[in-house]
Amino acid sequence: MYKLLLCVRYLRTRYIALASIISVMLGVATMIVVNSVMAGFTSEMRDRLHNFLADIVIESRTMEGIDHTDRQMAAVEAAAGEYIAAMTPTIDVPGMIMFEDPYNGKTITAQVMIQGIDPESKGHVGPLRDYLGSYNPEIEDGVVIREALRSRSEPLSWELTESATRYRDEMKLQESLEIRSAFEDESPPVKSEEPANGALDESPDFDAVAADTSHTVADQTPLVQDVFLQDSPLNKPESQIQTGAYPARVYLGEGIVSFQAQDPDTGKLHKVMLVQPGDDIILSTVTVGRPPEIVKMNATVVDSFRSGMNEYDTSVVLMNIKELQKNRGMQLDDAITSIHIRLKNYEDAPKAIAALQGAFPPGIVTIKTWEEKQGLLLSAVEVETAILNVLLFLIITVAGFGILAIFYMIVVEKTRDIGILKSLGASSNGVMSIFLYYGLGLGIVGSSAGVVLGLLFVRYINQIEDGLSWVTGRKVFDEKIYYFFEIPTYVNPAMVLSVALGAIGIAVLASILPARRAARLHPVRALRFE
Amino acid sequence: MAETIKMTKPLISAEAISKSYFKGQHRIPVLQGAGLKANRGEFISVIGQSGSGKSTLLHVMGLLDSPDIGEVILDGNRIDNLNQSARDQLRNHVFGFIFQFYHLLPELSLLENVMTPLMIRHSIFGYWAKRKEIRDAAMDIINQVGLGHRIKHRPSELSGGEMQRGAIARALVGKPEILLADEPTGNLDAVTGGGIMELLNSLNENQQLTIVMVTHDEAIAAQAHRTVRLAAGRIQLLARDEAA
């Protein structure tokens, strides 16, 4: 009994022990916060990867793809239909994109992954609607700056929205006016000449095409001819504008055609789009011929998408699959390169894969779950989390050494009291357990406080972030960089429990040495100690 | 306690105790064959210069220290060679210690200090079951030493005399057979020291408590039944053999 009484008293009267309680508390709180945020980020990232990739991907081993979409899909259905909720054919092929920067007139060329999709079935496999700009309101700094342009019930298609049509209309008009004035002045058209000169030395091939494009657009579209005929071109009928758009339509990854610019007045970052829905771009890719030849496609931008995975948003161009087939010479065989499958229940993935592997000869396709496809990234994140945990646990170990030092001090300070207790008949084990209980109590108090502090921090992390941003004057957590409006967190109770128990264990371990020293003190020498 | 009057066999005896300490390489002999017998109900004082080994003799008798040579015999049984746990038990049940510097635990109140030996004796559950008895026993002893109004005070809030009375209460709460007092008045003025001696005398008379007291003060020593003089680790002479 005296053990408990004394260790409670020591806890209450030795303020130096507070130092070790605080270090345990901070260690535990840090571990909980970091783990929760890491887990939040990881699960958010997994969700995004998963959503973009679908549950299972059947992929052709070559870029030429596999023939006869219908037959392949039927084979998939026959092999594993019971597990499958939805599937969509896809063509993946690397390519280049070229578009004009409206701010300085330069032509921008970038490497992209062109993905031919069928939006309707793609929408059943993954949350495509959540990605597309026109289905979602535009939010900046938590304020809606543009409402959604389409209702959620509108089917996914390659049609331009009304505002995109109107925008296209105005742009074409302006272009045609420029061309006309250029003809009248007998001077070269400003808009088409500039990019050609500006980027000539970098990539002459694409520049030639770029210079060519604006003429092509002007020459080919009936709209332009109307403009020449009509005095009041703004009143032209909508149907004529529709025909102006190319049959190849694309959804562009937002990161390809946008950048973050700082507002000179407010200092705030905001998104600048270089290409709007309704603009035209040029894509080039390779045909399925042998050897593959470069093929150029004019395409009209229907929408931009943002999946939240930076890797995809800065490199993927979604295009209508039929046009991509046609341009690549795949339409005769109706070939595709992959089939994305969503399962009814993801737990059935191994069974579904086994069934599919029976249906497809292994030399032609690979069949993988999204996790297998992204295995490297996922395991990298796991390793990162593990290393971080080891480092953070070292912090608690450091706190443990603090406890050891402080306890040693307390044992020295209490030497005479230990002698007294022994003279009253306390056993060595009893004296030792005073200090073990003391360590245990300190660990419990420290880690409970740490758990409370950590959970509060996680609960109010966004408010804390706001406060820190306000104090430092700059955004600590920029949602535009991370694509999160709020810091995602996930508190795993097992993690909290093991962190708390680990900290308590370390506190007890650290008190063993001082406790043994206390137990071994000779009573007479302890009593004489001044 | 009528049977204690017989005094045929000493209650405790230390026989031919030798003990030395090491200071670095040097062996310093403290006790060189000192012996002491105390009968039940006897009040013995041990007097000697500083460093004469009188405290060490007391510690050896009270099992706080072990002799290099010699034996300690309690009621006819040798106790100095017992194992650690039996020695702890004996210290708790048979011996009561009081010290020159009182040695109360500074974190505990007077009542808690007095209860400490009983808390050590009982496990947590045993204590919980008997907490009322233990508290009553402690209160009883505290009232006997005249500190009933000070039970909530910490040692630092008590005077020297009060602290020593508290220490005596703590020594007695476990109903020991032998009280070992190491200069109990050494740190007190004459009047307060006199009060403590009166208390010890009355305990000896009323409860037939066996007391072995170490002191360097002749006047204090004279209040015991018998005085043993210790010099250079040996018993010099039996100074008096008078009844109290």
Q: pLDDT of B13-64, one tens digit each?
A: 888 888 888 888 888 888 888 888 888 888 888 888 877 888 888 889 888 8
**Predicted local distance difference test score (pLDDT) of residue A142:** 66
CB pairs under 8 A between A and B: 74
Residue B147, pLDDT above cutoff 60: yes
**Predicted local distance difference test score (pLDDT) of residue A455:** 94
| Maximum CA extent, chain A | 116
**Predicted local distance difference test score (pLDDT) of residue A186:** 57
Tell me the β-bridge partners of A60.
A365
Chain B's closest residue to A434, CA to CA, is B120
Instruction: List the single best residue of B56, B103, B108, B183 to mutate versus A (max A Cβ within 10 A).
Output: B103
**Predicted local distance difference test score (pLDDT) of residue A180:** 73
CB contacts of B97 in chain A (<8 Å) are 423-424
**Predicted local distance difference test score (pLDDT) of residue A502:** 92
CB contacts of B172 in chain A (<8 Å) are none
Instruction: Give the Cα-Cα-Cα angle A198, A203, A206 (nearest 5 degrees).
Output: 90
Low pLDDT (below 50) residues in chain A: 191-243
pLDDT band at B244 (very low <50, low <70, confident <90, very high): very low
In whole angstroms, give the CA distance from residue A288 to residue A91. Answer: 12
DSSP string, chain B: -GGGG--SS-SEEEEEEEEEEEETTEEEEEEEEEEEEE-TT-EEEEEE-TTSSHHHHHHHHTTSS--SEEEEEETTEE-TTS-HHHHHHHHHHTEEEE-TT----TTS-HHHHHHHHHHHHS-HHHHHHTHHHHHHHHHHHHHHTT-GGGTT--GGGS-HHHHHHHHHHHHHTT--SEEEEESTTTTS-HHHHHHHHHHHHHHHHHH--EEEEEES-HHHHTTSSEEEEEETTEEEEEEE----
Chain A from 412 to 431: CB within 8 A of any B CB:
416-417, 419-428, 430
* B68 and chain A in contact, CB less than 8 A: no
> Torsion angle, CA of A445/A448/A454/A458, rounded to 10 degrees?
-150
Hey, is A366 helix, strand or coil? Answer: strand
Q: Which residues contact A473 (CB under 8 A, 6 or more apart)?
A: none
Calculate mean pLDDT across residues B75-101.
Answer: 88
Dihedral sign, Cα of residue A204, residue A208, residue A209, residue A213: positive
Instruction: Kindly report, residue by residue over A229-250, the tens digit of the pLDDT.
Output: 444 444 444 444 334 778 888 8
In whole angstroms, give the CA distance from residue A59 to residue A92. Answer: 9
Buried b (16+ CB within 10 A) or exposed e, A200-218: eeeeeebbebbbebbeebb
* B83 and chain A in contact, CB less than 8 A: no
CB-nearest to B92 from A419, A424, A428 is A424
Residue B7, pLDDT above cutoff 90: no
* A78 and chain B in contact, CB less than 8 A: no
Supply B201's token pair.
């005398």
Residue B102, pLDDT above cutoff 80: yes
Cβ–Cβ gap B120/A424 under 8 Å: yes
Q: Which of A270-279, A376-385, B119-128, B233-242 has the lowest mean pLDDT?
A: B233-242
In whole angstroms, give the CA distance from residue A438 to residue A150. Answer: 65
Cβ–Cβ gap A5/B85 under 8 Å: no
In whole angstroms, give the CA distance from residue A95 to residue A114. Answer: 6
CB contacts of A2 in chain B (<8 Å) are 116, 119-120
In whole angstroms, give the CA distance from residue A258 to residue A403. Answer: 54
Reported ipTM: the value is: 0.88
**Predicted local distance difference test score (pLDDT) of residue A207:** 45
Taking a C-beta distance cutoff of 8 angstroms, is the pair B106, B155 a contact? yes
In whole angstroms, give the CA distance from residue B34 to residue B23. Answer: 21
* A525 and chain B in contact, CB less than 8 A: no
**Predicted local distance difference test score (pLDDT) of residue A210:** 44
* A13 and chain B in contact, CB less than 8 A: yes
Residue with tokens 């009322």: B132
Cβ–Cβ gap B112/A5 under 8 Å: yes
Instruction: List the single best residue of A410, A423, A431, A437 to mutate versus B (max B Cβ within 10 A).
Output: A423
**Predicted local distance difference test score (pLDDT) of residue A59:** 85
Chain A's closest residue to B131, CA to CA, is A1
CB contacts of B129 in chain A (<8 Å) are none
In whole angstroms, give the CA distance from residue B16 to residue A36. Answer: 71
**Predicted local distance difference test score (pLDDT) of residue A194:** 45
**Predicted local distance difference test score (pLDDT) of residue A512:** 92
Q: Which residues contact A24 (CB under 8 A, 6 or more apart)?
A: A396, A399, A403, A442, A443, A446, A447, A450, A503, A506, A507
Calculate mean pLDDT across residues B121-140.
Answer: 87
**Predicted local distance difference test score (pLDDT) of residue A449:** 94
* B102 and chain A in contact, CB less than 8 A: no
